[in-house]
Amino acid sequence: MKILLLEDDPIIAEQIRDYFELFNHRVDCFDNGERLLETANPAYYDVMLLDINTPGLNGLEVLKTFRELSVETPAIFITAMSDLEHLKAAYRTGCNDYVRKPFDIEELELRIEHLVKGSGSRRIPVSEYYSFDMKNETLYHGDREVPLSPRERRLLYLLLKHRGHTVSKETIKSYLWEDQEVCDNTLRTTLKKLRNKLEENFIENLRGIGYRIHA
């Protein structure tokens, strides 16, 4: 099982990570929401554990961003707050469960197992005929998987992660080729190959700026 954890208290973060790693689960820890949004693929994980009170973007804002992107990964809020208003805000944002500190780690494990067993597909609609599995970075036309290269998969994931917003060419090149220096023509070639595999074009080109997929 893969767990995404947002927790700024190092003692609690270590407690959660050490416990679940004993059972060969993976726990990726972040102590602030901005860095989590920049680097983590939420659909890759089986569950998200989010502290409501973290520096900068808090757990509520992080989950709100993910839900607006149609990410359906189950989420559990962890917080020391006990008032009803925070509980209401958590569920309005789209959480699946809520745990108050201090908590029993075995109780948290039971809640996670219950959520993961009941979680559904991670496929999100892209257009009338296409859907994309954000967890496995797989494109479908109806129920048929569309063969894509690893770079084409990553390109679609990046654009869908920022759906409705323009992703600059520099951001795309950095994400797809990391430390390699590539020119705009290389990016255009990759995009052309991807479009040639599609029966409809849902990727918009904003000349000289970047690309986007409409919300």
Tell me the whole-structure pTM to 2 decimals. 0.59
Higher pLDDT, 43 or 187: 187
Mean pLDDT, residues 15-40 taken together? 91
pLDDT in tens, 123-137: 778 888 899 887 788
Strand duo 144-146 + 203-206: pairing: unpaired
- The Cα-based distances of 207 to 149, 154, 212 in angstroms read 25, 21, 11
pLDDT in tens, 160-197: 878 888 999 999 999 999 878 889 999 999 999 999 99
Name the one residue in this structure whose structure tokens are 């599609």.
Answer: 198
For residue 1, how many other CB atoms are within 10 A of its CB? 14
Question: Do 75 and 47 touch, CB atoms closer than 8 A?
Answer: yes
Q: In what order do the strands lie in the sheet with 138-141?
A: 123-125, 130-133, 138-141, 144-146
pLDDT higher than threshold 80 for residue 78: yes
pLDDT in tens, 95-121: 999 899 999 999 999 899 888 776 655
The CATH T-level fold of domain 2-118 is Rossmann fold (3.40.50)
The chain-wide mean pLDDT, for the chain, equals: 89
What is the domain partition of the chain in residue ranges?
Answer: 2-118, 123-213
Strand duo 167-168 + 210-213: pairing: antiparallel
The CATH T-level fold of domain 123-213 is Arc Repressor Mutant, subunit A (1.10.10)
- The Cα-based distances of 98 to 87, 103, 111, 124, 146 in angstroms read 8, 11, 9, 25, 38
